[in-house]
Structure 1
Amino acid sequence: MTPTILSVIVPVYNVEKYLSRCIDSILSQTFTNFELILVDDGSTDNSSKVCDEYAKIDDRVHVFHRENGGVSSARNWGLRQAIGEYVTFLDSDDAICKDTFRENINILLNNKNIDILQYPYSRITENNTEIEYRVESPITYLDKMDIFLNLVYNGPITWTSWGKFYKKNIYKFLCFHEGMCVNEDLYALVNIIAYINCMYISNLGRYLYYYRNDSVCSGSYSPLKSLDYSRTKMLIFKTSLKYGVDAVPFWNDAVKSCIDSWSYYGPCDELKGFLKELRLFTLGMKSKSRSNRMVRLSRIFTPLIAARIKFVMVRILHLNKY
């Protein structure tokens, strides 16, 4: 029996309107040595039935029904079932062009040193209008610091988990943060850098990202989202220390985000720990760089005291407008 080359993981939750488009785009790929893992994350519409029907007609389709746990939990579940040498993720309301697997798997099989391969994407509105096509010139990154900087400074490396192929063995050491509702992709990618040595940007294939107004990412700011942004900013700051880059800008961002979250999400042990940890970064506390008013206040007192001051101001003056 030929070993499975690729595991395609698709979390599914209440997307009956879009699901067939996604699955059809995968099953029509010109590269065929893959398994499709559909993780039905407690759908309450007909998505579960759609998944089961595809499993009946194509033995590459494996369906797992479970209680709702969120997209990160569903991806982790899919990773535990995956048997491919490589894995890739699709959102269940998106799709891919038909030669995407073949063109990029060929690159991976001929260049075994590549740990992650990223390919182009299009951003498409609900009425099928393409509003962005992002394709980069081919480039290979062999340095962790370069990968980190090109990720966090909006270089060629995108913040999404989709649109990439990964060596499966990377995830022996990692999983998606199941407590996050936004920014979980960027959080995961920052963590992944420690476990890879080579990332390649391909100009072949295309992911079709369909932008929906009712998606989690397009929704309004919320207390939970504010906490997730702080988690991500804090991880980026700590990672900048690890790779020896100028950490002060990332410290500024983390302090501002944690103070905002303290006043919006509310005081909690996790944020308190972040703010205390930020206090220990001497270069940030002594920096004269231009920064937000609350960051400057943090340098005069401490980040935690500044957060408490803003918390009181917000409630007295009703300033918390996001």
Structure 2
Amino acid sequence: MKPCEIAVIVPVHNAEAFLTACTDAIAAQKFDTFRCILVDDGSTDGSAALCDAIAAGDQRFVALHQPNCGVSTARTAGLRKAQELGALWYAFCDADDLYHPDFLGTLYTAVQNSGLPLACCRYDTFTDTIPANAPAPAGAELLRGTAHLDALLHNQAIDYGLWNKLYSAELLTSEMLNNGLAYNEDLLANWRAFLAAPGCAFCDFAGYHYRQHAASASHRTLPPQSLDDQRRAAVEIRATAPAPLQQSANAFYYEKLVYLASMILRRANAEDYRVQLYELRVAIKAGEHDPALGRNPLLPRSIRFSAFMTLHTPRLWQWACRKFLKDRQ
């Protein structure tokens, strides 16, 4: 076995239908100095046995099993195993998604050439037909200072996910991964990691293929904890942003308030969230004319418009949210 330069951590929960495609894409990486850690998180389908079979067939793969504790705990268990293996870098993949063949190699080259402890790439989405793999770039854009933090908050190409990034083992800690949130835990983990990093190397190619499932997000449950966790993440980001980034963090916070209100309004059972919606409207109203929030020059016009509609024409805005608002599924 070659040394474990990169550990790829894959949390697995009832992913039997997609797991083989996921691990086949990892196995096909042109950069092969890696180990892939499959963490079965209490699956009740055939995922546990499949993890064992994959690990038995390819020595680069390791299978772990734990009771169902959630994705953060599964990732943390994978990180501990990666530390045992002596991995110098960490990458993540969801069990229903796919890597571009050059994903690991391109991001690894970017961190080696830049000396930065963090690299990322774009992602694309698919349902049934896997996107074609475009050529990987030869170089990377270096985001330094607070530019990488601003990009994390506002650039969709960077995204909040852990799965389109490569992290130095000296940068990412188990405390960052297991941060107490069940929702937006990846955003908070990335925020803390990005805060600790002097910059990020951005590779401009769709190195990660994100699978969208048929069920619309608007028809899924929206646990109150999801709303609370997302607000908690936004509050911490606003409270810990460096001074040069404060205006950007304020805009992100206000945008999150407006977004969460729209998520409630788009639901057929919006009345069940009247307490949460009331609290969000109070916060949106309090910042409506605040130059740091509702009048923040960095706040997109679409969010200003959405905030106005949320406060002043709620019935019309509820109809518009239900008809037009779409999420990554």
TM-score range, shorter chain: 0.7 to 0.9
Distance in structure 1 (CA, Å) of the matches to 2:309 and 2:250: 15
The answer as to whether partners of 1:39 and 1:74 remain within 8 angstroms in 2 is: yes
2:152 matches 1:151: yes
The alignment's TM-score, normalised by the length of structure 1, stands at 0.74
Equivalent residue for 1:87, pick from 90, 97, 101: 90
SS in 2 for 1:180: coil
Tell me, in whole angstroms, the C-alpha distance in 2 between the residues paired with 1:203 and 1:250. Answer: 24
Structure 1 residue 132, shift from structure 2 partner: 12
Residue aligning to 1:301: none
Would the aligned equivalents of 2:251 and 2:296 in 1 still touch at CA under 8 Å? no
What's the CA shift for 1:38? 0.5
Cα 1:221/1:35, change in 2 over 3 Å: same
Do residues 99 (structure 1) and 102 (structure 2) align? yes
Q: Specify the code of the residue in structure 1 equivalent to 2:200.
A: M
- C-alpha change, 1:162 and 1:258, in structure 2 (3 Å) is closer
Q: Does 1:56 pair with 2:65?
A: no
CA contact (8 A) 1:12 1:40 kept: yes
Q: How does 1:203-218 map to 2 (within 5 A)?
A: 203=204, 206-214=207-215
Kept in 2, the 8 Å contact 1:103–1:205? The answer is no
| Contact kept? 2:7, 2:91, Cα under 8 Å | yes
Aligned equivalents of 2:296, 2:49: Cα separation in 1: 59
Shift of 1:142: 1.4
> Residues 127-166 of structure 1: CA distance to partner in whole angstroms, max 9, x if unpaired?
2164999x998310111x2112222122542221111111
- The match for 2:273 among 241, 250, 264 is 264
Question: Structure 2 length as normaliser, TM-score?
Answer: 0.72
Shift of residue 5, structure 1, vs aligned partner = 0.5
Out of 117, 120, 133, the residue aligned to residue 118 of structure 1 is 120
SS at match of 1:157: coil
- CA distance in structure 2 between the aligned counterparts of 1:228 and 1:121, rounded to whole angstroms: 25
Structure 1 residue ranges without an equivalent (≥5)? 297-320
Q: Which amino acid aligns with 2:21?
A: R
- Whichever of the two has the greater Rg, that structure is 1
Q: 1:132 to 1:284 in 2, by over 3 A?
A: farther
The root-mean-square deviation of aligned C-alpha atoms, in Å, is 4.1
Deviations 1:107-128 (A, max 9, x none): 33344x1211112322111x21
SS of residue matched to 2:108: helix
In structure 2, distance between residues paired with 1:73 and 1:118: 23
Q: Distance in 1 between matches of 2:218 and 2:190?
A: 17
Q: 1:149 to 1:244 in 2, by over 3 A?
A: closer
Aligned-residue offset at 1:49: 0.6
What's the offset of the Cα at 1:288? Answer: 9.6
3-state SS of the aligned residue for 2:75?
helix
Structure 2 contact 106–203 (Cα < 8 Å) conserved: no
CA 1:231–1:254: 2 relative to 1, 3 Å: same
- Determine the structure 2 residue equivalent to 1:195: 196
Give the AA of the match of 2:118.
I
Q: Distance in 2 between the 1:89 and 1:74 partners?
A: 11
**CA distances 1:243-293 after superposition (whole Å, capped 9, x unpaired):** 4432553454466689999x93968xxx9xxx8xx99xx976997997947
Number of the residue aligned with 1:74: 74
Q: Secondary structure at the match of 1:118?
A: strand
Partner Cα separation in structure 1 for residue 219 and residue 186 of structure 2: 15
Is there any run of 5+ residues in structure 2 with no aligned partner, and where?
A: 265-271, 298-303, 312-320, 323-329
Contact 2:4–2:33, Cα closer than 8 Å, also in 1: yes
**What's the secondary structure of 2:170's corresponding residue?**
helix
1:171 aligns to what?
172
Partner Cα distance (1:234, 1:241) in 2: 14
> In structure 1, what residue type is equivalent to 2:144?
L
Alpha carbons of structure 1 residues 131 and 95: separation in structure 2 relative to 1, 3 Å = closer
User: In 1, are the aligned partners of 2:147 and 2:199 still within 8 Å (CA)?
Assistant: no
For the 8 Å contact 1:86–1:168, the answer to whether it is kept is yes
Task: Percent identity, please.
Answer: 27
Alignment of 1:39-50 (within 5 A): 39-50=39-50
